[in-house]
């Protein structure tokens, strides 16, 4: 039973870390990027992710923690990519036909 407890602690810690990272990323993004990406506003995501972090830290109720995990996953797979696309991608990426050593032009 000790291994199960350790596994659950690891899962809950991972959920907390993901929520904190999502909260920081939501706070760093610009307000106008949320509007340009046609997503909920910045304050909405800060409140949702802040509640998620608080629940993970203070209220050990699995149902609430899973609801927060769903919100965190939605932020990572839907909102954050849209924000990055609107904001220019963050790393100065080239076109979609660029390979690891430069543009790929199909042998032309």
Q: Which of helix, strand or coil describes residue 59?
A: coil
pLDDT at 103 over 80: no
Q: What whole-number distance in Å separates Cα of residue 38 and Cα of residue 99?
A: 30
pLDDT single digits (tens) 66-98: 999 999 999 999 999 999 998 876 555 555 556
CA distance 54 to 98: 42
Domain boundaries defined on the chain: 2-87
pLDDT at 100: 63
Provide the whole-model pTM. Answer: 0.77
- Give the model's pLDDT for residue 59: 87
């Amino acid at each position: 039973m000790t291994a199960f407890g350790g596994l659950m602690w690891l899962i809950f810690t991972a959920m907390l870390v993901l929520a904190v990272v999502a909260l920081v990323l939501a706070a760093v993004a610009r307000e106008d990027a949320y509007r340009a990406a046609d997503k909920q506003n910045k304050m909405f995501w800060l409140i949702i992710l802040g509640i998620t972090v608080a629940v993970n830290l203070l209220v050990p109720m699995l149902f609430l923690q899973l609801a927060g995990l769903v919100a965190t996953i939605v932020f990572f797979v839907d909102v954050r990519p849209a924000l990055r696309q609107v904001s220019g991608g963050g790393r100065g990426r080239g076109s979609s036909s660029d390979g690891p050593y430069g543009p790929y032009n199909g042998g032309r």
